[in-house]
A = this chain, B = another copy of it.
Amino acid sequence: MAVKRGIWNRLASGELSSEQAVERCIARYGRRENEVRAFAAFDAERALGEARARDRERELRGPRSVLHGLPFAVKDVIDTVDLPTQRNSPRYEGRRAEQDAACVRLLRQAGCVLLGKAETVEFAGIGRNPLTTNPHDPARTPGGSSAGSGAAVATGMAPMALGTQTGGSVIRPSSFCGVAGFKPTYGRVPVQGLWLHAPSLDTVGWMAEEVELLARTAEVLNLGQWQAPEDGRSLRIGLYRTPYWPDAEPASRAAVETAAEKLAEAGHSVDTVDEIPAAENLNEWQDVIMHGEARISLLAEHGAGKQGLHEDIIEEVEVNRGITPRLMAEAYDGIGGLRPVFDARLADYDAWLTASVPGEAILRSEGNGEATFNRLFTALHLPCVTVPAQKGPAGLPVGVQLVGARFADMQVLAVAAVLEKLLADK
């Protein structure tokens, strides 16, 4: 088995205490943070104290869950009591929430240890970009908006980090940073205590050092029971290039084709999924909804004056981009009509394989990258996993994506574990 054993694995097996796990994260933080800038807040002493408490508790009463003692980072649009939640907005500098967000509460109730707050694009939407750099090349973007979450996991500063996805904000930074990432079915993770940008799209997701930890986190968050993939069972994989395949660069195409070949070589069936009528509208519909809803989410920020707001946010509120009620209704209904169509097509497969991103991480000066292969699936509310696949021409990581039917979260994670192993075996 060539998948490398990470912090969680050694923590769960008793090789590491929670305190030792946190110490490793702190050591990585010491080495990498100056360049990577993954964190908006990081409190080593506090985390060590929490870890020691979890270690004592494990001794006295046993672990609270399979994640007991696991250090984790939290995207800075998700509320935490013990560390500020600043949303990368000058307006919220030093802001302290009065309660942890529900997803953070669930993880801490399961014995996880809060390490720090991961950098984000302002309000996880548009506006000020974080200072975070790609851990593989400081001139490149880590991908937005869960930039710090991707970079923290990629550098080993955190074995797991929460993010959020409205377009491609979990899958994209995971792929750019070279880590496993998961965006669950919409609505399956509670949203209390999140900054909501486009509420009908926003979904809490997470990155992790390995796919099984993505799945164990899903388990703790009540998405279902993790089942290790059965040895020898032949998976039915659909190769779904999406209507946006022309936007996939050679690196991303090659990553998908290679993954398909490895799956086929391992005895799994890989069929091409036929085009789905009207699917070519999905990204545009997602765009209409995202901007239409974001405008409403930002109204009160805009109403409080322009000071401390990025000009893109002011523009988001003041310029309506031609988004009329009719266009909003058409977008909602167009997507709503395709949800059962995609579910029915997906029912014939264990998962679909597609691109995670157009290609490698772009230069920071050029933005955060495109969510071309994410927007449609976010709009459809489908669970998506990205798995690190290969290097692109600049030597940067490129992931491939697996997509499942709504609520098939645990199933698509099991397929991702199979693929992760195949891609790690040389």
Chain A residues within 8 Å of B, Cβ to Cβ: 95-98, 102-103, 105-106, 109, 187-192, 195-196, 199-200, 222, 293, 296-297, 299-300, 303-304, 325-326, 328-329, 332-333, 336-337, 339-340, 343, 406-407
A296 and B190 CA atoms in complex are apart in Å by 6
A303 and B102 CA atoms in complex are apart in Å by 10
Q: Please tell me which one of the listed residues B98, B337, B406, B407 contacts residue A337 in the complex, with CB atoms under 8 A apart.
A: B337
CB-nearest residue of chain B to A224: B325
A187 and B339 CA atoms in complex are apart in Å by 20
Q: Please tell me which one of the listed residues B102, B192, B297 contacts residue A190 in the complex, with CB atoms under 8 A apart.
A: B297
Interface of A (DSSP majority class):
helix
CB-nearest residue of chain B to A296: B190
- Judging by beta carbons under 8 Å apart, are B300 and A329 in contact? no
Q: Do A188 and B109 contact each other (CB < 8 Å), given the known contacts A336-B337, A406-B329?
A: no
- Judging by beta carbons under 8 Å apart, are B191 and A196 in contact? yes
What residues of B have a CB within 8 angstroms of the CB of A407 in the complex?
A: 325-326, 328-329
- Judging by beta carbons under 8 Å apart, are A109 and B190 in contact? no
Most B-side CB within 10 Å, residue of A189, A192, A304, A339: A192
Q: Please tell me which one of the listed residues B109, B196, B337 contacts residue A303 in the complex, with CB atoms under 8 A apart.
A: B109
Q: Please tell me which one of the listed residues B191, B304, B328, B343 contacts residue A105 in the complex, with CB atoms under 8 A apart.
A: B304
CB-nearest residue of chain B to A407: B325
24 A–B pairs (Cβ distance < 8 Å), ordered by A: A95-B98, A96-B98, A98-B98, A102-B297, A105-B300, A105-B304, A106-B300, A106-B303, A109-B300, A109-B304, A187-B200, A187-B293, A190-B297, A192-B195, A192-B196, A192-B297, A222-B296, A326-B407, A329-B343, A329-B407, A332-B339, A333-B336, A333-B340, A336-B336
